Every structure is written in structure tokens, then in C-alpha cells.
Structure 1
Amino acid sequence: MKSKQWQGWGSGEQAEQHYLVEPRALAGGGDLRHVSEFLRASGWRDKSKAGGPLSLESPDRTVRIAYDPYALPGGWTIHGKSTGHQDEWGVNLSRQTPVEIVAGLTDALTHPRSAHAPNVWAPLQEQRWDTPPNAEHITAVSPDGSAWMQFHQDPNGGAMWWSGAKDPQGNGWSAQFTATTPMHLVQAFSAALASPEPVMRPRGRVPHSGQIRTTSVSVLPSQLSAWQQARITAARAATWARNSVRGNKPRSTARPHTHAGSARARR
């Protein structure tokens, strides 16, 4: 285990021990606020009931995201309503899916869709994931063998994406995507899954696994707060920019002519 000490400590603060965990797929669930606070800052409505599971709804009311640790099998459910050019879709992610990987998908729900055709396999190939030639289904496996992304197609043409991670100690999670899940969201998920960047977990929240590598770091509470706030601030700025662009779009029809005197009278 490596150890690092962060510089620039302020007076009167007590550093807390955290760990940078690799690979991220085996880091455990993490803090739900990494997902929920970003969505709230992006204009999503909080539909959670007091004491109940987390529930958020998109500004246009077409997508709902919930996290329930008590229901069976429990975890994240993401449901998209049928719209003009999109069939109803859904994603289920079990409880120990790292929040940074969940956020890869949920953050993408707040961004404009790229004009480029999505490619789910591209982020995995960039990180040298293996594609076994004799696998029953099209599959990509991480270099250490702990995580996978798989595409199923049955004889009737039904299709489904499946992903997950597991180590010999039994730590792990799974994710299932309906065939109708927008491909750019599946790609956003695969990019977050394949990212080589470690994720941070506090002491006592690191899974007992022989397959993970940890680096001990001492972090000030103010630093953690600043990092979290930077993510929220970025979401608010992006939301403001999108709303400003919509508000500044030229109208398709001219406004009725109004005399200057009438305009002054309404001030």
C-alpha cells in the first residue's frame, strides 16, 4: 500500500484518511451524492419521500432515477418513457456498482447528444480490454479479468447489454440494459467503466479484495468539500448555459407590433 500526503493544509483542520482504489470497478458503491447532487444541480426534481428511497426526475419528466438499497435485488433503476423518437427503456444496476460508473451514464442524461454515432466498444478497446474469440456472446473483458461488458442477442432478435465486475472474494455487481436503451448512454457507461482513473473511498469503506490496489491519502474535509462543490458548480454552469441558449433562440414568428407608448405604460 502506498501513502501520500496532500499539501496546503489549512490551520485548525484534521486530515482524514482515504484511499485511492484501483480498479474502480471493484471499489464498492461509494457516496450516492456523487450522482444525486449533480442531477439536482442540473435541474432534476427530487421526488424522494421522507425516509424513503432516492428518486429523481428529469426536467422534461421523461426519465426517472431511483436508488433503493432495501428492495430485492436493490440498487439503481433508471427508466425512460417512450417519446416521439425513442421507445421506453430501462437500466438496472446493483447496489455495489461504483457511483463513478453510475454517474458516467446519469451525467450523460444531462448533456446534449453527440452528432457522432455511438460506439460502446471504443472506450474498452482504448484501454486494451480483451475480446475472447470463443465467447458465446460478444464480450470485452478488462485486462485483470475483473470486469466485463457483454452483448446478448437471442434467436428471436431480442438484444440486451450486460455488464459487471467480480473478484474471487465475492465482491461485485451487475448492470443490465434493455435493448431500447439509447446507445450513447451505454457508451457513456462503458467509458466510465473502462476509465483507468482510481476512485476515492474513506477508511472503512474499501472492500476486502485481493484484486484491488490502494494508495493511502490524507485529505482535509475542506478539500473534499471543494472537490464535490466543483462538480456541482460545473453542472449548474452547464445547465445555465443550455437554458440561456434556448432562451436566446430567435422566434419563428414575429411579435405583434406594439406602440412604444404601450410598452412604456406596462413598466
Structure 2
Amino acid sequence: MATAVPPAASRIAVVTGASSGIGAATARRLAEAGYRVVLTARRKDRIEALAEEITAAGHQATAYPLDVTDRAAVDEFATAFKTVGVLVNNAGGALGADPVATGDPDQWRTMYETNVLGTLHLTQALLPKLDASGDGTVVIVSSTAGHATDEGGAGYVAAKHGAHVLAETLRLEIVGRPVRVIEIAPGMVRTEEFALTRFGGDTAKAEKVYQGVPDPLTADDVADTITWAVTRPPHVNIDLLIVRPRAQASNTKVHREA
């Protein structure tokens, strides 16, 4: 069944972390679904190139360089809109995989500021615009790390638990208003940068994450899931959707082929 084109009042979709991976794939998918996408990320060249690609395909896209941890910049960004239909809080990421005893507090701080406070900044700044659309949707891209614990990398797990609680609490607090809150929690997704960034550019460590795993999720798999949830009828709220590859039963149990 074809995806319905969103009504004009809610046709703007803001995607954070749109310079690569899940964010870039989501921008493409939402544009194809009829949204005017606004791409935000710190890497100006990346989002400008993506905006050009989307526009060349016959859709509407605008690039806006933005650091989600800079509240003043976020507030200024929000003044550009009267209404916003969709906010996809995707900016985030992981740094390190050390145990609690030796974890780097600076990495913990960076992850919390991006994954949690960045989401808070955009959500607070754009919530009135989402309300004004009469049919708004906040999407928070968390992780299966926000729904379980495992050894190593507790800083990322803690940050994603924070993102999950933010989504869950916001949904309680704004019930009755014309805004849905959707949490998408991906499991193992193979993108060009996530694991490489986590391990400080160590290619061998990054590759080991996916070694032997048949068909981990792709960025487009998650983008497809996000777009499906966003394009449900306005009265349908997908509170929480956990999406994993078939080979991953949990955060700690993954099938790997020899």
C-alpha cells in the first residue's frame, strides 16, 4: 500500500544527525514520502551534498548546519519555522567500550550531551511548532542499549537509557495534545561510521563488531522503520519499536557464522 502524502500543515520534517548513516537514510525516505526535509548536522558539506541529491531526485530538502548541544544555536534554528510536522532526534553516537571502573568521564559527558541533552534541546525548541501543526510527531532514535545492560560501554548504555526515559516521560506529559512521541530502538546496525567512531578510528575493532554476523541491519532498514511509524494515521502512536537483525536475539546473544 502506498504511503499517504502528509497534509501541508505537517509537511516539514527536521532530521538531526543527517550527515550520514541512519539520519541521512531517514532524510531520503521521508523526502520520498512527501515531506520537506530539513537536514541538520555539524558537517556542513555532507548535509549540503545530501540536500542537493534529494532535490535532484525531485523532492524538497534544505541543509542547516547545527550542533544539537549548542542551545543558543538550536533556539535560533527554531525561529525559522511556524510549524513543524516531524522531528527525528537521531543525533547521537557511542564513544569507547570500557568498563565502569576505567571509563573516560569526558566520553560519558559527550555521549550524554549529544544523545540526551541534544534531544532535549531540539524537542523543547520545536515542541510549540509541532503543536501548531495540529499533527506533530517526535521521533527519538534510541537503541536496544537503552533497554538492557551489558558489560563494557556503560556510558553509551546510560545515555540511551536517558533517551528512552525522555521519550516515555514526554509521552505522559503531553497526552491530549496533537503530538505523538515515537521511540525507535535499533539493535545491530552496520553503518559506515558508528563502530569506527566508537573505537577511535580502529578499523580492526570496528570490523570485529560485525564479524560473522549474517545481514546486520542497514541504515536504510532503520530509516524504513522510522518512516513507516511516522506515516501511520494520526491517531496511531507507535510508542516503542525495537528492531534487530534476525541474527541478534539480544544485546549479548548474536549468531555468528564461522
How does the TM-score come out when normalised to structure 1?
Answer: 0.29
Higher helix share: 2
Higher relative CO (CA 8 A, sep ≥ 6), structure 1 or 2?
Answer: 1
Higher strand share: 1
How does the TM-score come out when normalised to structure 2?
Answer: 0.29
